[in-house]
Structure 1
Amino acid sequence: MMSTKENLSKETKRTEAPPPGEAEQAAEAASPAERPETEQATKETTARAEVPLTPQQIEELKGKAAKADEHWDRLLRATADLENFKKRAARERQEATRFANVSLLEKLIPALDNFDMALAAANNTEGNSLESLKTGITMVYNQLKAALAEAGLEEIDASGRPFDPNLHEAVSQQETADVPEGQVLRQLRKGYKLRDRLIRPASVVVAKKPAV
């Protein structure tokens, strides 16, 4: 026979353990206020998503989609135009570099023609060929000077001027009492500038006081 304590313990267990399915039924019977807030928010979101769009709203969405497609097409075209412009500009820069001296060469070609004529005259035994050669060379020289001057080339005239180390190159010094010391006594080779930039200094002989 079981003791009184054992009977009481069994009765207590039967009382505390709920029947199968009772917990689930209790949860379902709970009020909405007792359920998690996330469940309520999910239902509200689903309800809003299930609201059908009006024809006007559908048309508005279609219009916005069409505008977005149009803007995208414009962006693609603008990008393509920019790339084409870059390529064209690169080609033009390359062409400009390759043919930068075309204008100058066009002005020098007539000088070459006159050289040809002067040489032909020098080979001609009839008449005064020396005078013809001199005339031809003078013509070529003047044409070359004019073409180079038009391109911005300037001669540096150093004769009789004070020595300037920025423009002149002293090849030697010569004692003399005829000109002041430090003055260019004689120019051996012309100097040239391209506008304000020195291309070649003039080679000169500089005057020096005679030794006492």
Structure 2
Amino acid sequence: MNPITSEEEPLDNIAASGPESVEAKGEATTDAASAAQQELARWKDIALRGQAELENFRKRMSREKVDAIKFGNASLLEDLFPIIDNFRFGLEAARQESENSIVFQGMSMVMKQLSDFLANQGVTEFGEPGEMFDPNLHEAVQQEFSNSLPDGKILTTLRRGYRLQDRVLRAANVVVSKGPAPAAGPDGPESQG
């Protein structure tokens, strides 16, 4: 028996392991590289998703900031609308007394200032008689027959509606036309007694 030197032992071990062992180590290296690439792809995907979420968050915050500035005075304006309604009632009463009175003229000037103020704030009024009824803007309090306006048109405005930019702050309360009254004939509602 030959004594084996320590230098020969590793060579013998490699030779003894054969080509299958080298291939197995190569496959293991390939599998490890493939797993590492998959892990890298997964982390890249997570990073991209996180970046997209952050960008969406920034956009949403920017949009909310713009909306907060745009609609920040909405609460104050909503509190002002009933005061304007009452002022209009007073203006109408003063007009019925005399359109030439100093009170009516003064109230008209104040009403003009209020209207200009609302316009400068981006507020528009709606709900005028003759407009088409829109359930998104108007609340129909009542329906009446009308020979002057077709079905679905506003006959009377009981309370004006207000919109700030594209947001409805208060719906208008209106009376809506049903169109002309049906003709009373021999079989009509009046003859049924």
Do these two structures clear the TM 0.5 threshold for a shared fold by scoring above it? no
Bigger radius of gyration: 1
* TM-score where L is the length of structure 1: 0.38
* TM-score where L is the length of structure 2: 0.41
